[in-house]
Structure 1
């Protein structure tokens, strides 16, 4: 079978470290080109992976069967809707957008065009964690769950500034790590039927969620936790006892699995569980949480 031509939109650290190497090295993919808002960065990244740098994003779409995005969410939503309109399948980052209007417009554009989509929720693609989620989703009788994601990215002595961005600093842990928490809780406990939210220290947000399966869950989401207390825990309690999410090895292998998922969805027409509609649902829940804690 012919390889799927996938173009890359974005030239930042994630595009350089994760997206471009995975696409260029995938046996079923041809990296069809790169476009970025900085032409010099696009040229350098394209040269590293022996592909074409495009000055016009629409020319990249025309040369591609699918497009992967490594840009801020609301830039992604706008450009991905354009890509879908010309028939390109979509490999999206989370969140798909940070406004309901943009997320809904993107999902509608993908549906109208009939294109496949995959949203890169890391824990749903990393081998250890994706297998764990599938196992727990098949188990009955969950009582409650919790997802605590205490990042120290914006702590004074925290993360790598190269990966900082205005949207992440402005929207905080709710929008950056909140999608990860929801991507694990929803397939196991069911869709969310009610949301309670409150602010904590720094950018920390606390959620209390009710699920269609009858269980409740909580989430603590932060990018400003002190470095010494940072960490990730997902725990479920139910009839089979207490289970805890296993560790995972980072985004590289997980992103390659996401590429596998898009290739399969594009070839078969079978929607992926983490498609743009799931990405829209996550955005709806985050937007509701944000509204609950907005100043009066």
Structure 2
């Protein structure tokens, strides 16, 4: 989720009192499982709320007064359209990630109980929000598992610094991004201090980078990139020497496959590798490589002959 700072002076902040004042004027409320641009399509799932249920909806739409001070960059859905007694349009709001409301003031506002609203909508036939929430929960659980796995794989003495790097994105993305860079710099400095022997350090970092190679989806995360940047900052000749000084473990070979296919490495060093390393890496990929590794090998990476 990405956010941008809302315009305005803060004098038009959303509040639950304002929300209730709007809904007190409503004759009917139409909720459509779509963005505002699509909300008028007749074939989309929709719910019309009237009478006492409008008051119930107002309770479920209660927000944290004052709003968030920013706006989510996504379009938002479902769309909530409020009509007056003469059929006139009073307001149009959107939900964001089933946890925030837009359209009431000059910024978004967090719902006080998003799950309760999602359940209420599902009971009345609008189930898409619930499906999305369930999917998001699964994604969050998987991402948390990946982060823990990555931190646990850190070389001895680096786990706490790794945890700082792996902190998930915050609402203030710019501040989080700056903090992430600083955490990555601290991690790199600590790795240099803890493992002054470059060969040992490189082999440990290769094994750590290899953790990302076995993921079936999601690609490399920002915390994986922190390890990759450390390897790319090493002297390339020393990296290659560390790879042939003694046999690499399967995890280190996975990390080497990740490193030697990056644009940064191939642009500066080319795709070819020293013969002993090339043979070892190609043998590893043929025996136990991932689809991504085989794809790269078949396209001429790792010094392999291109076959496609």
Rg larger in structure: 2
- TM-score interval (norm. to shorter): under 0.3
**Structure with greater helix share of residues:** 2
Report 1 or 2 for greater relative contact order, CA contacts < 8 Å, sequence distance ≥ 6.
Answer: 1
Give me the TM-score of the superposition, normalised by structure 2. 0.23
Q: What is the TM-score when the length of structure 1 is the normalising length? A: 0.23
Bigger proportion of residues as strand: 1
